[in-house]
Structure 1
Amino acid sequence: MADTPAIYVQAGRARGGTDALTLGATLPWQGFRRQLWGGELRGHWDFYVSRWSFDAAPGGSGHSTLLGITPVLRLTPDQGRSAFFVEAGIGATLADKRYQTPEREFSTRFNFASHLGAGLRLGARRQHELALRVQHVSNAGIKHPNPGNNFVQLRYALHF
């Protein structure tokens, strides 16, 4: 089931009391398969909507909704037969409002989101997936201030 779409739910937490709940879908890059370091490298698109909740700066809102898209590369050991995988991606997000807490403020609604993750595929057809990810969100210096924020995320995906 390595080349099948998936839907997922993901929960994350960042410093400053910021929580994120994310719903998304992944679409595999059909025909993209490379051998690398004894494993199999594949790619997919990750489309998502995320709701951030946080302690707002005075006069600000404590919520923000983001839309995101990320191309992801995933390496599965043992020629792709392993249940384990590692992945990385760099994509873009657009928020309905700027992120502003008493400790940090993003200067743009558009930001980049990069992540590193590791996970495990489970089930008779490996249709269930659990992943632990670390994600960094910032505008890459387009405009200042650019403090960024780092999330630790837990994801459950169902491939179909």
Structure 2
Amino acid sequence: MKERRKELLRCVCLATVAMAAVVAPAAAQGLRPSSFFVQGGAGEDHVGAAAVGVQWPLPWRSSALGGELSANAELFGSLWRARALDGGRENFVQVGLVPMLRYRFAQGRSPWFAEAGIGLSLTGKRFVTRDKEFSTRANFSDNLAVGRSFGEQGRQELSLRLQHTSNAGLKKPNPGLNLVMLRYASAF
């Protein structure tokens, strides 16, 4: 039990350092995040996940199909908890950077939106469990979401997300991992 606590602390420290390494230089250049998020969920093979992250708006907007497209980038740190090879539970840390496209309905006036994006992620160690084995620590993070803005000036959001993590077949084995997540986000 004590060893697991140490591993969890190392994972949290790794995620914190990785996020600080990206956020600090961006903030120094005036690129401050516009919002933060927390999310949690579960996936196949008894994997639980929790994540925190920040988002930056990107300077691009376009009208399309009666709605509005916009872009942002998000940096996240996740903790996955899965069945270990020895039958217990094991923690895995994932950090990622994902550019996202957002479609907001009704010429951009609707509180409802859909998002999609593909980015890169890195796990602190290879994901090896009783149920799955990734061949790489570096993977792609594919994300789809539907959500709704609410609150004063729509500054808060809830979204239901599907996250698929895999190496896109660059190296075998590549079983991938699918997670369903519920996210709460709030503007700063």
Fold shared, TM-score > 0.5 on shorter chain: yes
Structure 1 residue runs of 5 or longer lacking an equivalent are none
Q: CA RMSD in A?
A: 1.5
Percent identical pairs in the alignment equals 42
The structure with the largest strand share of the pair is 1
Distance in 2 (CA, whole Å) between partners of 1:105 and 1:157 is 32
How much does 1:94 deviate?
0.5
Q: 1:19 aligned to 32, 42, 48, which one?
A: 48
Aligned to 2:13: none
What SS class does the counterpart of residue 16 from structure 1 fall into?
helix
Give the length in aligned residue pairs. Answer: 156
Amino acid at match of 1:67: V
Greater shift in the superposed pair: 81-90 or 56-65: 56-65
Distance 1:100 1:61, change over 3 A: farther
RCO greater where, 1 or 2, for CA within 8 Å and sep 6 or more?
1
Distance in 1 (CA, whole Å) between partners of 2:137 and 2:120 is 11
Preserved contact between residue 19 and residue 52 of structure 1 (Cα < 8 Å): yes
Show structure 1 runs of 4+ deviating over 2 A.
58-61
CA deviation map 1:65-100 (0-9, x unaligned): 111000000000111000000000001100110111
Structure 2 residue runs of 5 or longer lacking an equivalent are 1-32
What SS class does the counterpart of residue 143 from structure 1 fall into?
coil
Q: TM-score, normalised by structure 1?
A: 0.93
The structure with the largest helix share of the pair is 2
How much does 1:63 deviate?
0.7
Distance in 2 (CA, whole Å) between partners of 1:148 and 1:85 is 26
